[in-house]
Amino acid sequence: MPQIVHRIAVFIALVFTFIAVGAQAERESAADDAGLLAAHRLLIPVVGATRATLRDTFDERRGATRHEAIDIAALRGTPVVAAGDGRVVKLFKSAPGGLTIYQFDPDEKFAYYYAHLDQYAEGLSEGMILKRGDPLGYVGSTGNASAAAPHLHFAIFRLGPDRRWWTGSPINPYPFLNDALR
């Protein structure tokens, strides 16, 4: 009997060790992500918006789910620009997001997601290489956005090893968006 108790105790200790190691790795990964995103000096992707006008809506509830993005309110037709350098990987129309853009950063570690666009910038295409500040489209209220409240829904995802544009681990963009010179 004591041998069984000992084995159970060892098993429980191993489980807690794996949990602790996993939590530490997750904290280190989040710190690495923060450092990389800060180094990208991301622009606020709506022309004329400033840090003072942004509101952190990442953790707000949208029905049963967390928002996992920020909404940047602006007049319909306000230009939307690339938050950072990268490549357009998908132009997509969906019921919730309306007209959307998925952009990967140059290292393909992160995806930037722009949604509810009124229209795309002329000449924008999948595969196009972007520089920070390049035109992407215009603020709108397509998809499930209220017609009375045009805005840009902007999200950042940490891509997995398969680099699927439609999935990833959400990262709050709010701390990384800057008023940097365009």
Domain for residue 5, yes or no? no
Domain for residue 54, yes or no? yes
Query: Per-residue pLDDT for the chain (182 aa), expressed as one digit of tens each?
Result: 566 755 665 556 555 545 544 444 444 466 788 888 888 889 999 999 998 888 888 888 777 778 788 999 999 999 999 999 999 999 999 898 889 999 999 999 999 999 999 999 999 999 999 999 999 999 999 888 888 989 999 999 999 988 877 778 999 999 999 875 54
Q: In the structure encoding, which two tokens stand for residue 69, read together?
A: 């993005």
Q: How many domains does the chain have?
A: 1
> Token match 């990389």: residue?
36
Domain for residue 3, yes or no? no
Tell me, what's the pLDDT at 106? 96
Q: What is the dihedral of CA 165, 166, 171, 174, to 10 degrees?
A: 90
Instruction: Kindly give the pairing relationship between strand 129-130 and strand 98-104.
Output: unpaired
What is the SS3 assignment for 163?
coil
CA–CA distance, 152 with 150 (Å, rounded to integer): 7
Q: Are 89 and 103 in contact (CB under 8 A)?
A: yes
Domain for residue 18, yes or no? no
Domain for residue 20, yes or no? no
Tell me, what's the pLDDT at 32? 85
Q: Are 71 and 57 in contact (CB under 8 A)?
A: yes
Instruction: Give the Cα-Cα-Cα angle 29, 53, 43 (nearest 5 degrees).
Output: 50
Domain for residue 13, yes or no? no
Q: Which domain holds residue 91?
A: 41-176
Tell me, what's the pLDDT at 136? 98
Check which CATH number belongs to the domain holding 74 and give it: 2.70.70.10
Tell me, what's the pLDDT at 80? 97
Tell me, what's the pLDDT at 21? 43
Sign of the alpha-carbon torsion through 49, 73, 118, 45? positive
* Identity of the amino acid at 67: H
Q: Left (φ > 0), alpha (ψ -120 to 50) or beta: where does 40 sit? A: alpha
CA–CA distance, 40 with 180 (Å, rounded to integer): 11
Domain for residue 133, yes or no? yes
